[in-house]
Protein backbone atom coordinates (compact mmCIF):
# COMPACT_ATOMS: atom_id res chain seq x y z
CA UNK A 1 0.00 0.00 0.00
CA UNK A 2 1.50 3.38 -1.00
CA UNK A 3 1.49 6.23 1.53
CA UNK A 4 1.60 9.91 0.48
CA UNK A 5 4.96 11.60 0.98
CA UNK A 6 5.09 14.37 3.64
CA UNK A 7 5.40 17.95 2.39
CA UNK A 8 8.98 19.28 2.11
CA UNK A 9 10.12 21.08 5.26
CA UNK A 10 9.90 24.87 5.08
CA UNK A 11 12.93 27.05 5.79
CA UNK A 12 10.63 29.40 7.78
CA UNK A 13 9.26 28.61 11.24
CA UNK A 14 5.69 27.36 11.18
CA UNK A 15 4.44 30.63 12.62
CA UNK A 16 6.48 32.85 10.25
CA UNK A 17 4.96 33.65 6.86
CA UNK A 18 6.64 35.52 4.05
CA UNK A 19 4.37 38.49 4.78
CA UNK A 20 5.52 38.50 8.41
CA UNK A 21 9.14 38.37 7.30
CA UNK A 22 8.61 41.33 4.96
CA UNK A 23 6.96 43.38 7.71
CA UNK A 24 9.74 42.52 10.15
CA UNK A 25 12.39 43.59 7.64
CA UNK A 26 10.56 46.89 6.98
CA UNK A 27 10.19 47.61 10.71
CA UNK A 28 13.89 46.92 11.29
CA UNK A 29 14.88 49.30 8.48
CA UNK A 30 12.53 52.00 9.81
CA UNK A 31 13.95 51.65 13.33
CA UNK A 32 17.50 51.98 12.03
CA UNK A 33 16.59 55.07 10.00
CA UNK A 34 14.80 56.62 12.99
CA UNK A 35 17.79 56.01 15.24
CA UNK A 36 20.09 57.62 12.67
CA UNK A 37 17.81 60.63 12.38
CA UNK A 38 17.73 61.09 16.15
CA UNK A 39 21.52 61.13 16.25
CA UNK A 40 21.72 64.05 13.81
CA UNK A 41 21.92 67.59 15.23
CA UNK A 42 18.70 69.62 14.94
CA UNK A 43 18.22 72.02 12.05
CA UNK A 44 18.25 75.51 13.61
CA UNK A 45 15.81 78.22 12.62
CA UNK A 46 16.68 81.91 12.89
CA UNK A 47 13.86 83.46 14.91
CA UNK A 48 15.51 86.72 15.98
CA UNK A 49 18.17 89.09 14.69
CA UNK A 50 20.35 91.47 16.65
CA UNK A 51 23.17 93.76 15.56
CA UNK A 52 26.45 94.65 17.21
CA UNK A 53 28.65 97.54 16.16
CA UNK A 54 32.32 96.98 16.96
CA UNK A 55 34.70 99.92 17.31
CA UNK A 56 38.42 100.42 17.85
CA UNK A 57 40.05 102.79 20.30
CA UNK A 58 43.64 103.98 19.67
CA UNK A 59 44.23 104.21 23.43
CA UNK A 60 43.21 102.03 26.32
CA UNK A 61 39.68 102.36 27.71
CA UNK A 62 39.04 105.24 30.05
CA UNK A 63 39.02 104.08 33.69
CA UNK A 64 37.10 107.12 34.93
CA UNK A 65 33.86 106.58 33.03
CA UNK A 66 30.97 107.81 35.11
CA UNK A 67 28.43 105.24 33.92
CA UNK A 68 27.80 102.55 31.31
CA UNK A 69 26.16 105.00 28.91
CA UNK A 70 29.18 107.23 28.43
CA UNK A 71 31.48 106.44 25.52
CA UNK A 72 34.18 103.90 26.19
CA UNK A 73 36.56 105.88 24.04
CA UNK A 74 36.37 109.54 23.05
CA UNK A 75 38.29 109.00 19.81
CA UNK A 76 36.98 105.68 18.49
CA UNK A 77 36.62 104.46 14.92
CA UNK A 78 33.87 102.13 13.76
CA UNK A 79 35.18 98.74 12.69
CA UNK A 80 31.83 97.56 11.34
CA UNK A 81 28.41 96.08 12.05
CA UNK A 82 27.71 92.40 12.66
CA UNK A 83 24.19 90.95 12.31
CA UNK A 84 23.56 87.83 14.38
CA UNK A 85 20.76 85.33 13.75
CA UNK A 86 19.52 83.64 16.93
CA UNK A 87 17.97 80.18 17.33
CA UNK A 88 15.03 81.02 19.58
CA UNK A 89 13.19 77.75 18.96
CA UNK A 90 16.19 75.65 19.94
CA UNK A 91 17.40 77.45 23.10
CA UNK A 92 14.75 80.07 23.99
CA UNK A 93 16.14 81.00 27.43
CA UNK A 94 19.66 81.59 26.15
CA UNK A 95 18.37 83.67 23.24
CA UNK A 96 16.00 85.67 25.46
CA UNK A 97 18.76 86.58 27.92
CA UNK A 98 21.15 87.49 25.11
CA UNK A 99 18.55 89.78 23.54
CA UNK A 100 17.90 91.40 26.92
CA UNK A 101 21.59 92.15 27.26
CA UNK A 102 21.63 93.67 23.78
CA UNK A 103 18.58 95.83 24.44
CA UNK A 104 19.12 96.79 28.07
CA UNK A 105 15.37 96.60 28.76
CA UNK A 106 15.58 95.15 32.26
CA UNK A 107 15.32 96.99 35.56
CA UNK A 108 18.73 98.57 34.99
CA UNK A 109 20.52 99.84 31.92
CA UNK A 110 22.98 96.93 31.92
CA UNK A 111 23.80 95.77 28.42
CA UNK A 112 26.65 94.74 26.16
CA UNK A 113 26.92 98.30 24.89
CA UNK A 114 30.29 99.92 25.70
CA UNK A 115 31.84 96.63 26.83
CA UNK A 116 35.10 95.10 25.68
CA UNK A 117 36.10 92.20 23.53
CA UNK A 118 38.49 91.07 26.24
CA UNK A 119 40.15 87.98 24.76
CA UNK A 120 41.09 86.98 21.21
CA UNK A 121 42.42 83.52 20.39
CA UNK A 122 43.82 83.76 16.85
CA UNK A 123 42.40 81.21 14.43
CA UNK A 124 39.74 80.12 16.94
CA UNK A 125 37.36 82.58 18.63
CA UNK A 126 37.05 85.76 20.67
CA UNK A 127 35.33 86.38 24.01
CA UNK A 128 33.08 89.29 25.01
CA UNK A 129 30.67 90.03 27.85
CA UNK A 130 33.04 89.52 30.78
CA UNK A 131 31.34 90.40 34.06
CA UNK A 132 32.78 92.95 36.43
CA UNK A 133 33.06 96.72 36.63
CA UNK A 134 31.36 98.82 33.93
CA UNK A 135 34.05 101.49 34.35
CA UNK A 136 36.54 98.89 33.06
CA UNK A 137 34.48 97.99 30.03
CA UNK A 138 32.95 94.92 31.69
CA UNK A 139 29.28 94.03 31.91
CA UNK A 140 27.01 93.89 34.94
CA UNK A 141 23.86 91.80 34.24
CA UNK A 142 20.61 93.07 35.77
CA UNK A 143 19.36 91.31 38.88
CA UNK A 144 16.08 90.42 37.21
CA UNK A 145 17.72 88.49 34.36
CA UNK A 146 16.12 85.01 34.46
CA UNK A 147 18.25 82.04 35.49
CA UNK A 148 19.25 80.01 32.46
CA UNK A 149 18.33 76.38 33.14
CA UNK A 150 19.47 75.40 29.64
CA UNK A 151 23.06 75.36 30.92
CA UNK A 152 22.27 71.96 32.51
CA UNK A 153 20.09 70.62 29.67
CA UNK A 154 22.01 68.16 27.43
CA UNK A 155 19.76 69.00 24.46
CA UNK A 156 21.02 72.60 24.52
CA UNK A 157 24.52 71.43 23.54
CA UNK A 158 23.47 69.67 20.33
CA UNK A 159 24.98 72.12 17.83
CA UNK A 160 28.70 72.24 17.17
CA UNK A 161 31.30 74.94 16.53
CA UNK A 162 31.84 73.71 13.01
CA UNK A 163 32.72 76.90 11.12
CA UNK A 164 33.50 80.62 11.47
CA UNK A 165 30.71 82.84 12.76
CA UNK A 166 29.19 80.50 15.36
CA UNK A 167 27.76 82.40 18.35
CA UNK A 168 27.93 80.50 21.62
CA UNK A 169 27.25 81.05 25.33
CA UNK A 170 30.65 80.68 26.94
CA UNK A 171 30.60 78.11 29.72
CA UNK A 172 33.84 76.10 29.56
CA UNK A 173 35.85 79.10 28.35
CA UNK A 174 34.21 81.54 30.76
CA UNK A 175 36.65 84.22 31.87
CA UNK A 176 34.66 85.67 34.79
CA UNK A 177 36.43 85.83 38.15
CA UNK A 178 35.69 83.00 40.56
CA UNK A 179 34.42 85.47 43.18
CA UNK A 180 31.78 86.70 40.74
CA UNK A 181 30.72 83.16 39.83
CA UNK A 182 30.11 82.33 43.51
CA UNK A 183 27.55 85.12 43.83
CA UNK A 184 24.06 83.54 44.24
CA UNK A 185 22.67 86.06 41.74
CA UNK A 186 25.30 85.21 39.12
CA UNK A 187 24.00 84.96 35.54
CA UNK A 188 26.28 83.81 32.75
CA UNK A 189 26.20 86.31 29.88
CA UNK A 190 29.72 85.93 28.50
CA UNK A 191 29.69 84.78 24.88
CA UNK A 192 32.10 83.79 22.15
CA UNK A 193 32.13 83.96 18.36
CA UNK A 194 34.27 81.59 16.33
CA UNK A 195 36.58 83.34 13.89
CA UNK A 196 37.83 80.47 11.74
CA UNK A 197 39.27 79.54 9.39
CA UNK A 198 38.46 76.06 10.71
CA UNK A 199 36.12 74.50 13.26
CA UNK A 200 36.67 74.54 17.04
CA UNK A 201 35.79 70.99 18.17
CA UNK A 202 37.31 71.66 21.60
CA UNK A 203 34.30 73.90 22.31
CA UNK A 204 31.68 71.28 21.39
CA UNK A 205 29.42 69.81 24.11
CA UNK A 206 30.73 72.43 26.56
CA UNK A 207 29.22 75.70 25.30
CA UNK A 208 25.70 76.45 24.06
CA UNK A 209 25.54 77.39 20.37
CA UNK A 210 22.60 79.78 20.00
CA UNK A 211 23.21 81.75 16.83
CA UNK A 212 25.26 82.53 13.75
CA UNK A 213 26.75 85.54 11.99
CA UNK A 214 24.43 86.49 9.13
CA UNK A 215 26.29 89.62 8.03
CA UNK A 216 29.66 91.08 8.90
CA UNK A 217 31.91 88.05 8.93
CA UNK A 218 34.63 90.36 7.61
CA UNK A 219 34.35 92.31 10.88
CA UNK A 220 34.78 89.07 12.85
CA UNK A 221 37.88 88.28 10.78
CA UNK A 222 39.26 91.78 11.41
CA UNK A 223 38.85 91.35 15.18
CA UNK A 224 40.62 87.99 14.98
CA UNK A 225 43.60 89.66 13.28
CA UNK A 226 44.19 92.21 16.07
CA UNK A 227 47.53 91.49 17.80
CA UNK A 228 47.22 90.15 21.34
CA UNK A 229 49.50 89.94 24.35
CA UNK A 230 51.39 86.64 24.26
CA UNK A 231 53.73 85.87 27.19
CA UNK A 232 57.16 84.46 26.54
CA UNK A 233 57.87 80.78 27.14
CA UNK A 234 59.83 81.68 30.27
CA UNK A 235 56.85 83.54 31.73
CA UNK A 236 54.57 80.60 30.93
CA UNK A 237 56.91 78.21 32.73
CA UNK A 238 57.04 80.42 35.82
CA UNK A 239 53.26 80.69 35.73
CA UNK A 240 52.82 76.90 35.52
CA UNK A 241 55.19 76.49 38.47
CA UNK A 242 53.32 79.09 40.53
CA UNK A 243 50.01 77.38 39.77
CA UNK A 244 51.50 74.02 40.80
CA UNK A 245 52.36 75.46 44.20
CA UNK A 246 48.90 76.99 44.57
CA UNK A 247 49.92 80.61 44.12
CA UNK A 248 46.74 82.55 43.35
CA UNK A 249 48.71 85.17 41.45
CA UNK A 250 49.18 82.68 38.62
CA UNK A 251 45.55 82.99 37.56
CA UNK A 252 45.64 86.78 37.90
CA UNK A 253 48.66 86.89 35.62
CA UNK A 254 46.89 84.78 32.99
CA UNK A 255 43.99 87.23 32.89
CA UNK A 256 45.98 89.51 30.61
CA UNK A 257 47.06 86.76 28.23
CA UNK A 258 45.42 86.95 24.78
CA UNK A 259 44.10 90.46 25.43
CA UNK A 260 43.94 92.61 22.28
CA UNK A 261 46.73 95.19 22.18
CA UNK A 262 44.26 97.58 20.53
CA UNK A 263 41.04 98.18 22.43
CA UNK A 264 38.03 96.74 20.58
CA UNK A 265 34.56 97.08 22.07
CA UNK A 266 30.83 96.89 21.34
CA UNK A 267 29.91 100.51 20.68
CA UNK A 268 26.22 99.81 20.02
CA UNK A 269 23.82 96.87 19.90
CA UNK A 270 20.11 96.25 19.46
CA UNK A 271 17.40 94.19 17.79
CA UNK A 272 16.51 94.00 14.11
CA UNK A 273 12.85 93.13 13.64
CA UNK A 274 12.09 89.99 11.62
CA UNK A 275 8.79 89.72 9.75
CA UNK A 276 8.81 85.93 10.01
CA UNK A 277 11.34 83.30 11.06
CA UNK A 278 13.58 82.12 8.26
CA UNK A 279 14.62 78.61 7.41
CA UNK A 280 18.16 77.38 7.89
CA UNK A 281 20.33 80.47 7.36
CA UNK A 282 22.56 80.73 4.32
CA UNK A 283 25.90 80.57 6.03
CA UNK A 284 28.69 83.02 5.20
pLDDT band per the 50, 70, 90 thresholds, residue 23? very low
Assess contact for 162 and 125: CB atoms under 8 A: no
- Evaluate whether residue 237 is within a structural domain: no
- The answer, yes or no, to whether residue 284 has pLDDT greater than 70, is no
Pairwise CA distance, residues 259 & 127, whole Å: 10
Question: How many C-beta neighbours within 10 Å does residue 180 have?
Answer: 14
Q: Is residue 172 part of a domain?
A: yes
| Span 56-97, pLDDT tens digits | 987 654 444 434 444 567 778 999 999 999 999 999 999 999
What share of the chain in percent tops pLDDT 70? Answer: 68
Which residues are CB-neighbours of 234 under 8 A, at least 6 positions away? none
278 inside domain? no
Report d(CA 100, CA 270) in Å as an integer. Answer: 9
- Does 241 map to a domain? no
Range of the domain at 140: 44-229+260-272
209-230 tens-digit pLDDT: 999 999 999 999 999 999 988 7
d(CA 90, CA 280): 12
- Per the structure, the count of domains in the chain is 1
Selection from 139, 238, 222 nearest residue 186 by Cα? 139
Question: Is residue 279 domain-resident?
Answer: no
**DSSP letter string, 229-272:** ----HHHHHHHHHHHHTT-THHHHHHTTTT-BSSEEEEEEEEEE
Measured CA to CA, the distance from residue 33 to residue 273 in angstroms comes to 38
Asked if 53 contacts 80 with a C-beta cutoff of 8 angstroms, the reply is: yes
Asked if the structure places residue 162 within a domain, the reply is yes
**How many residues belong to the chain?**
284
User: 6 lies in a domain?
Assistant: no
- More confident position, 58 or 14: 58
Beta strands (DSSP E) in 132-221 are: 166-169, 191-194, 208-215
Query: Can you give the three-state secondary structure of 14-37, one letter per residue?
Result: CCCCHHHHHHHHHHHHHHHHHHHH
Q: In CATH, what number is assigned to the domain containing residue 71?
A: 2.40.100.10
Distance CA 241, CA 244 (A): 5
In a domain, 24, yes or no: no
Amino acid sequence: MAYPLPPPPSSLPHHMTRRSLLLLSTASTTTTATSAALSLPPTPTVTDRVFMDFSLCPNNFLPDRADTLSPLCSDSSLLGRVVLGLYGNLVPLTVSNFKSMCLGLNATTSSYKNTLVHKVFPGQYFLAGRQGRPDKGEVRPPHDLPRNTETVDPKAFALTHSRPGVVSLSLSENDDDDEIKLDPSYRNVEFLITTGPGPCPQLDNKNIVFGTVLQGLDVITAIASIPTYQPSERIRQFNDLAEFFGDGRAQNARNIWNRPLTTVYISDCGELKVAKPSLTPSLP
